Chains A and B, each alone.
Chain A
């Protein structure tokens, strides 16, 4: 589904604070994700990116502040509105989150079976297509998640997240644990999906290649706040230590040598 380019942000986070006991994860954090962009959240471990993601997809509530996703305020959301909202986004989990008792095809077809009145034959065909779209061979569809390699598992999870043609896609570490070749495939896939379906994509990643290649804007999280936001080349010129660590560390990439 394509939408006119309106200026209303897809995700609007304002003054969000989260604490676990004494540990402050977010303090008055503000963030905005625009329509049709590929947005990346980065930050060291424990910087609260995963918690923020979980708060955006209704798995966790912040202690204070508001989060609006696709125009809905998550804090005051009735159950039926929440369900409708959940069908408008797709989530790819870090370890796949595929159901072990179902084959890959059944996993992909599950949202369609649950939420639409389509016939079984049609659902199977659409699931097979999503599987192909995610770059998996048709044979993989009949396999169980435990028989898949890590890269295939991520692709199958992505296919399931795409089942209902969401407007918004969340990817948690889409390339973590993949070999460089498969990771490169994911780069391409993410961009292709955005261009084809006009998706907005929010991802958590540490993969500098992925960030340089596909992310439109990147937000760096540290000390409970967004310390810098912008394209990778903009970020690379910022002086904040949390951002510098990212570029100047032993595994950082200078902006001058993008592939």
Chain B
């Protein structure tokens, strides 16, 4: 923004013993005055006269700068007399002088030292450890709450569960469908060239069927839902804890876990496998269309082969991973929400963490599943 046109503050030194101040000594007017002030030198052990009669305006910033000049000159051994100042300006200057004197009398607060590299490493690993422990204890609490709900099914809150199934599941159908369709298209398209070279066109079915049903559909669905619902969970719970709604809930004798977390976990555990089935269908459809366009494999031929190429186990392995992913997304999202402290800033930070961590854990879990299934020969 451009400053308004003001007569800037100025200081001139016609003789070594005379200082003439003029202009507007205000926050706007004193920009750049510091260099002028530094060049003011008065021979030590002499007296100097500062004329403030032509100062047009003085505010706290100007008074501060002026007082600091006077103090510096005094420290250098010059006796400076300021005269001609308007009475209200003189009063302001006195307040500054008083504040600086008080400040000098009191020991300065120890400046916060930026932590050294070793300290930073220590702090961040301490934090990571603390977070892991907290996540585990949150997981335990959720497990207890879940066990309690199963023991007393009356306590389950069906309304929020159904609401969450709709918002996290049904409402996500278009985006999940579109993306898995495109993924199917891409997989078939990428494979088409290689398969054609070997005249193995029909194996596009194995490629699309196995990769989509076993890996891609569950994974892409989980990633979309982590971005879509995991973030929403963290932001909702985070904002509620900033506005003390969580505390209010506790004091009213409602367990936040029962009302906020369990319905989300249960809803997502139901919704994510269903979404995965939907993603399977659309992904295979995308591959099928591409197979006909690029490789001349007709729909009938494709479907006949699909039944033989993809075993029931592969299909169930894909679907079976979804509830685990769902639990990871919901637990991490809610956990990060509860860790929100402070203000809007923290809500944003925790939401980001929720998404990044849940995608991370989903992929780690997927890798563990792959190892386990290959060990089991599934």
When A and B form their complex, which 3 residue pairs have the shortest distance between CB atoms, in order from nearest? Answer: A100-B343, A117-B31, A146-B342
A122 lies within 8 A of B65 (CB): yes
Interface residues on B, range: 35 or more
Is B339 positioned at the interface, with any CB of A under 8 Å from its CB?
no
Is B1 positioned at the interface, with any CB of A under 8 Å from its CB?
yes
Q: Which of B49-81 contact A (CB under 8 A)?
A: 57-61, 64-65
Could you say which residues of chain B place their CB within 8 Å of the CB of A197? 60, 92
Q: Are A164 and B92 CB-contacts (below 8 A) given A129-B60, A129-B99?
A: no
Q: Are A114 and B1 CB-contacts (below 8 A) given A142-B112, A196-B91?
A: yes
Q: Which of B93-128 contact A (CB under 8 A)?
A: 95-96, 99, 102-103, 108-109, 112
Is B377 positioned at the interface, with any CB of A under 8 Å from its CB?
no
A165 lies within 8 A of B60 (CB): yes
Q: Are A126 and B109 CB-contacts (below 8 A) given A115-B1, A119-B34, A146-B342?
A: no
Could you say which residues of chain B place their CB within 8 Å of the CB of A126? 27, 60-61, 64
B interface with A by C-beta (< 8 Å) = 1, 3-4, 26-28, 30-32, 34, 57-61, 64-65, 86, 88, 91-92, 95-96, 99, 102-103, 108-109, 112, 341-346
Interface size on A, residues (CB 8 A): 32
Could you say which residues of chain A place their CB within 8 Å of the CB of B346? 100, 146
A144 lies within 8 A of B342 (CB): yes
A1 lies within 8 A of B4 (CB): no
Is A101 positioned at the interface, with any CB of B under 8 Å from its CB?
yes
Chain A 181-222 per-residue mask, 1 if CB under 8 angstroms from chain B, else 0: 000000000000000111000000000000000000000000
A112 to B30, CA, bound (A): 12
Is A239 positioned at the interface, with any CB of B under 8 Å from its CB?
no
Could you say which residues of chain B place their CB within 8 Å of the CB of A142? 109, 112
B64 lies within 8 A of A122 (CB): yes
A130 lies within 8 A of B3 (CB): no
Q: Are A2 and B88 CB-contacts (below 8 A) given A114-B1, A125-B64?
A: yes
Is A145 positioned at the interface, with any CB of B under 8 Å from its CB?
yes
A55 to B87, CA, bound (A): 36
B60 lies within 8 A of A146 (CB): no
